[in-house]
Amino acid sequence: MASHLTLCRRRFEQPLAWLLKWPNWLSLDAPLIALTWHSLIAGSLTPQGASVGGPPRGCGAAGAVLFLTVWLIYAGDRLLDVRRLDFAAEMAERHRFAGRWAAVLWPLWWTLLAVDVMVAIVGLEAAIWAPGAALFAAVVLYALVVHGPWRWRVPKELIVGTVFAVGTCLPVIVRPGAAPRLGTIVVLAGLFVLNCLCVAAAQQRADGRQQLPSAIRMFPGLIRWLYPAAIALAVSSLMLVVRMLVPAAVGISVAISACGLAVVGRGIVHAESDATRWRWSYWADPVLLSPLLVNAWMDG
């Protein structure tokens, strides 16, 4: 009986694992998350429910540019990472995939970069160009610091999470009348940083063998704070909703996702093997899709 249950569980887990892994390997998880949150924010921060350069709910040019830009950043980061990795040693599966298919991914990357630039030039309004250029400069600086010849040790998860939050909100917050803004960016940055830390905690040993920088490697004690930090973020986001510093839809979505990350973080911390940690880490991105539930609830 026990062996039958184990076999059934494996048959269920195998397709689910592939469903979770493939978006991550193809760098599609981050763009989908960005577009999901952008859609929620566009409907929450502006009376018209629209973002600069596109129609309501984050569609059109703004959504396309956001999706393509996030994909370019994440895919490019991995392709630059694999240039100096030892493929005979342990590494993250997404890095192994990027290294194996680099000859295909690099031409695709340059093609989509050209498409992204053309869509931005044709479809975005002038109001977004200056803040967009500043954010682009921050991304270039990050690339130079992490992938340049100096290879500085920086807590990259803090940088990535913050830039991701600002970029997701940018097409909306530059629109006149969009408010409140700062509280939304702060809770989103906290959520995305926590997501990055959970993934870094799961792959700490592999990153160590490959000499890849991460906040977890710099400050190993952060691992035991993943669960309490996630709970604190969930409570704080709801308190900011009560104080009317964050839109209700955003605060509730952050709280739901933070609770999901609390479960993921606890699973990673208490996992008895690296394989179990990896499996937990693949849930770190799906739990960020709470805006789909909140949007459906509010629209219904």
pLDDT per residue as tens, the chain (300 positions): 444 444 444 444 566 666 778 888 999 999 999 999 998 988 776 655 444 444 444 457 888 999 999 999 999 999 998 888 888 778 888 888 999 999 999 999 999 999 999 999 998 888 888 888 888 888 888 888 887 766 667 788 898 999 999 999 887 777 665 555 788 999 999 999 999 999 989 888 877 777 777 888 888 888 889 999 999 999 999 999 998 888 899 999 999 999 999 999 999 988 888 788 888 888 999 999 999 998 878 766
pTM across the whole model: 0.86
Residue 120 forms part of a structural domain: yes
Question: What does each C-alpha distance from 137 to 69, 140, 153 come to in angstroms?
Answer: 13, 5, 19
Q: Give φ, ψ of 228 to 5 degrees.
A: -65, -35
* Cα 103 to Cα 101: distance, rounded to the nearest angstrom: 5
Q: Are 25 and 93 in contact (CB under 8 A)?
A: yes
Element (H, E) at 1: none
In a domain, 176, yes or no: yes
CA nearest to 67, candidates 102, 112, 98: 112
| DSSP3 helix / strand / coil % (the chain, rounded to 5) | 80, 0, 20
What is the length of the chain?
300
| Alpha carbon distance 207, 214 (integer Å) | 8
Domain presence at residue 249: yes
* Peptide bond connecting 31 to the previous residue in cis, omega within 30 degrees of 0: no
d(Cα 25, Cα 282) in Å, to the nearest integer? 11
Rg (Cα) of the chain, in Å, rounded? 19
State the Cα–Cα distance between residues 161 and 188, nearest whole angstrom.
8
Looking at residue 146, its amino acid is V
Measured CA to CA, the distance from residue 215 to residue 222 in angstroms comes to 8
The helix-helix angle for 182-202 and 156-173 (nearest 10°) equals 150
Q: Is residue 11 part of a domain?
A: no
Cα–Cα distances in Å, from 153 out to 82, 211, 218?
A: 17, 10, 8
Residues 6+ apart with CB under 8 A from 300: none
For strands 50-51 and 54-56, give the pairing: antiparallel
Among residues 54, 76, 119, 84, the alpha carbon closest in space to that of 212 is found at 84
Count: domains in the chain: 1
Query: What range does the domain containing 158 cover?
Result: 20-299
Nearest C-alpha neighbor of 269 from the set 187, 161, 197: 197
Distance, in Å, from the CA atom of 257 to the CA atom of 51, rounded to the nearest integer, reads: 23
Query: In this predicted structure, what is the pLDDT of residue 5?
Result: 40
- Looking at the DSSP bridge assignments, the partners of residue 54 are 51
pLDDT for 54 equals 41
Residue 1 domain flag: no
Backbone angles phi, psi at 47, to 5 degrees: -60, -35
| Confidence at residue 288, expressed as pLDDT on a 0 to 100 scale | 96
Q: Specify if 128 maps to a domain.
A: yes
Q: List, in order, residues 6 or more apart from 148 with CB less than 8 Å away.
A: none
> What pLDDT is stored for residue 203 in this prediction?
87
Please report whether residue 278 resides in a domain: yes
5 lies in some domain = no
